[in-house]
Amino acid sequence: MFPWTKRDAAAPLPPAAIPRDGGIPWQGAGLTATEVDLPRGRKGAKLMHCVQLTTSDLTVTMLHAEILELLDGRISMVDPMGASPDVFLCNAVGVDAAATAGRASEAGKWMAVFPADALALMVVPVSEPPAAVMSGSDVASFSAWARKLAK
């Protein structure tokens, strides 16, 4: 009857990530990281600088700036952008801090077995092992790669 009812009933498609030209992907620990732009806004005119993490089972897109904050220790968890599955990238320090503050998470049982410098790509519900775990040299090379990307 009214034209806007059809528009509201249709679920919008999530915007597709656009790979950046000249970007060299990072690979390690069962992950591939690619530098991408994610269109945002009404017409997709605004581009957000992101990193797309891919495993054999899933692909998620996360803000580049938030990944840098995670690597610098300013935050302990990064959520994906858009309509990605329930996945998050976290560090062991943040999980331990939450447990100490009385807010233990299910991720803690997995992070307890990894080195303190580990980053884990966790899938919700957190009843299964992480989708990917980076530690040691993998975290160092991922960090170097992410810091070289244009801001």
- Tell me the average pLDDT of the chain: 80
Q: pLDDT tens-digit profile of 43-71? A: 767 889 999 999 999 999 999 999 999 99
Contact of 118 with 133, CB cutoff 8 Å: yes
pLDDT at 107: 61
Band (23; pLDDT cuts 50, 70, 90): confident
The encoded tokens of residue 137 equal 């040299």
The fraction of the chain above a pLDDT of 90, given in percent, is: 38
Choose among 34, 63, 37, 22: nearest CA to 145.
34
Q: pLDDT tens-digit profile of 30-46? A: 999 999 998 887 776 78
CA dist., res. 42 & res. 77, Å (int): 28
Q: What end-to-end distance do the CA atoms of the chain give, in Å? A: 47
The encoded tokens of residue 85 equal 């599955």
